[in-house]
């Protein structure tokens, strides 16, 4: 299968927005309807989009999700538990790196407290495929961060999705998806409290709704269709590169599988391997559309290849070169980095440890993937109990306030220098 070829600079013209304006406008109507209409509106959209019966439950409680776990085959239960444990371990080490701070300053002390939010809504897609991995990635991370109340939202949740919610320690599952699910997590309804943070991957309707509720709640990121860039030289195994590109392609028709290579020979060999591996793939229809969306860029040298990858700032960046560690050290922008042929992107998808909820569309230029940091607040504090020792700070504050024309600010600071204050 011939993939389209793009020159090194042509990728800059790609439209990789997470959501289009038409979807944003349509999603706004749904979000507003849920905000105003509460459960009645959520139920109306759930009947229309999620197949929830008019009298069917929107919320699945802890007892039912635990029952789903109990009824799962023992091997699947162990699989979910092992995967959750690896995610938990990585997130716990992240959390350990976030510590409270106290610093002596002139006249007192200052510092910060790291504290979890109270309630998190974790979205897990469920349209094309059930994704229990996304339940684990979001809800386990929220629990490790210390969030007291964790709810999962997923349309038409399968038994394995419910079981994953139980393993992750979720309190309930909201059995709806799309923009109305995000609105419900953000605004709540009778018997269902609003969340402080909403996180997790989803389609363009989910992403549009997250953009619309920012400010009402915190969100992790606005993520679009999934992306994989494989950076390879002539030392890469074409069969392995093809397998990884196909693995990305079957995610979604709008997924972006990309090969950036210094070898025309490798590019042709990868295309031949895609043909060989494509024949018995059960997800051909989805993968074919994504491969038509993807591309190959052949460049003259590794410096140019690194420049292309940094400009793309992809969700997943896989380095398959003779010297992967050295090449990886020169890269700057990625959501998740996979170093060496053994570090398949799929291992990140399914719970090696780091989170698989990652920025797309170049967002990796300014933020990383989902982590415990998305579920905590770093709140600063200040205590001045010796104004004499703090005189310089106080006088500088007075001077800056008057430079800015804020006289009441200056006078409030001056009072701290008066005897008996």
* pLDDT at position 253: 93
- 365-395 b/e (C-beta count within 10 Å ≥ 16 → b): eeebbbbbbbbbeeeeeeebeebeebeebbe
* pLDDT at position 338: 98
pLDDT digits (tens, 9 = 90+) for 279-331: 899 999 999 999 999 999 999 999 999 999 999 999 999 999 999 999 999 99
CA angle 120, 127, 213 (to 5 degrees): 40
Least confident of 4-18, 160-174, 221-235, 251-265: 4-18
pTM metric for this prediction: 0.94
* pLDDT at position 55: 66
* pLDDT at position 14: 85
- Mean per-residue pLDDT for 8-31? 90
* pLDDT at position 2: 85
Give the whole-angstrom CA distance, residue 66 versus residue 164: 9
> Of 34, 44, 48, nearest to 186 (Cα)?
34
Beta-ladder partners of 24: none
Long-range contacts for 267-270 (Cβ within 8 Å, ≥24 apart)?
Answer: 267/296, 267/298, 269/238, 270/238, 270/241, 270/242, 270/245, 270/296
* pLDDT at position 51: 80
* pLDDT at position 52: 82
* pLDDT at position 56: 76
* Residue predicted with more confidence, 22 or 56: 22
Q: Which of 227, 250, 315, 345 is catalytic?
A: 315
Give the whole-angstrom CA distance, residue 101 versus residue 119: 24
- What's the DSSP call for residue 189? B
* pLDDT at position 421: 58
* pLDDT at position 50: 86
Q: Establish whether 273 is a catalytic residue.
A: no
* Residue predicted with more confidence, 224 or 196: 196
- Mean per-residue pLDDT for 21-41? 97
pLDDT digits (tens, 9 = 90+) for 357-370: 999 999 999 999 99
Structure confidence at residue 420 as a pLDDT band (50, 70, 90): low
In the chain, what percentage of residues exceed pLDDT 70? 99
Give the pairing type, strands 172-174 and 59-61.
Answer: antiparallel
- Mean per-residue pLDDT for 191-209? 96
Q: What would you report as the CA-atom Rg of the chain, rounded to the nearest whole angstrom?
A: 25
Structure confidence at residue 406 as a pLDDT band (50, 70, 90): very high
Tell me: pLDDT of 47 over 70.
Answer: yes
Beta-ladder partners of 338: 318
Tell me: pLDDT of 268 over 70.
Answer: yes
How do the residues of the chain divide into helix, strand and coil, expressed in percent and rounded to 5?
A: 50, 20, 35
Tell me: pLDDT of 10 over 90.
Answer: no
Structure confidence at residue 12 as a pLDDT band (50, 70, 90): confident
- Mean per-residue pLDDT for 93-117? 97
Output the average pLDDT for the chain: 95
Tell me: pLDDT of 124 over 90.
Answer: yes
Structure confidence at residue 130 as a pLDDT band (50, 70, 90): confident
pLDDT digits (tens, 9 = 90+) for 378-399: 999 999 999 999 999 999 999 9
* pLDDT at position 330: 98
Q: Which of 251, 316, 333, 356 is catalytic?
A: 316
Q: Establish whether 326 is a catalytic residue.
A: no
In the chain, what percentage of residues exceed pLDDT 90? 90
- Mean per-residue pLDDT for 195-201? 97
Kindly list the structural domains of the chain, giving each domain's residue range(s) and its CATH number in brackets, ordered by start.
21-107+117-220 (3.40.50.1980), 225-365 (3.40.50.1980), 386-417 (no CATH)
């Amino acid at each position: 299968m011939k993939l389209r070829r793009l020159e090194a600079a042509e990728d800059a013209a790609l439209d990789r927005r997470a959501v289009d304006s038409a979807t944003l406008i349509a999603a706004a109507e749904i979000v507003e309807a849920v905000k105003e209409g509460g459960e009645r509106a959520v139920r109306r959209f759930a009947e229309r989009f999620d197949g929830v019966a008019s009298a069917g439950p929107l919320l699945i409680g802890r007892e039912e999700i635990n029952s789903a776990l109990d009824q799962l085959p023992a091997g699947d239960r162990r699989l979910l538990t092992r995967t959750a444990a690896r995610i938990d371990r990585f997130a716990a080490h992240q959390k350990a790196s976030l510590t409270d701070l106290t610093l002596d300053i002139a006249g007192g002390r200052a510092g910060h407290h790291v504290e979890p939010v109270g309630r998190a809504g974790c979205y897990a897609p469920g349209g094309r495929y059930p994704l229990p991995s996304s339940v684990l990635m979001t809800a386990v991370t929220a629990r490790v961060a210390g969030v007291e109340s964790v709810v999962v939202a997923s349309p038409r949740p399968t038994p394995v999705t419910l079981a994953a919610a139980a393993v992750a320690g979720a309190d309930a599952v909201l059995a709806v998806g799309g923009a109305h699910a995000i609105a419900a997590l953000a605004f709540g309804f009778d018997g269902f409290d609003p969340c402080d943070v909403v996180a997790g991957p989803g389609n363009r309707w989910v992403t549009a709704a997250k953009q619309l509720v920012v400010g009402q709640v915190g969100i992790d990121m606005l993520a679009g269709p999934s992306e994989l860039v494989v950076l390879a030289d002539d030392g890469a195994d074409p069969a392995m590169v093809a397998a990884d590109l196909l693995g990305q392609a079957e995610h979604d028709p709008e997924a972006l599988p990309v090969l950036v290579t210094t070898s025309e020979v490798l590019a042709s060999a990868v295309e031949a391997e895609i043909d060989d591996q494509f024949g018995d793939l059960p997800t051909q229809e989805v993968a074919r559309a994504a491969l038509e969306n993807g591309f190959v860029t052949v460049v003259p040298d590794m410096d140019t290849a690194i420049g292309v990858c940094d400009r793309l700032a992809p969700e997943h960046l896989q380095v398959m070169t003779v010297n992967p560690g050295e090449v990886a050290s020169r890269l700057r922008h990625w959501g998740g980095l996979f170093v060496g042929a053994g570090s398949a992107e799929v291992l990140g998808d399914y719970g090696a440890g780091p989170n698989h909820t990652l920025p797309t569309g170049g967002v990796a230029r300014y933020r990383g993937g989902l982590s415990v940091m998305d579920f905590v607040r770093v709140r600063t504090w200040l205590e001045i109990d010796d104004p004499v020792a703090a005189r310089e700070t106080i006088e500088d504050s007075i001077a800056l306030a008057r430079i800015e024309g804020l006289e009441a600010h200056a006078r409030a600071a001056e009072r701290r220098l008066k005897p008996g204050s």
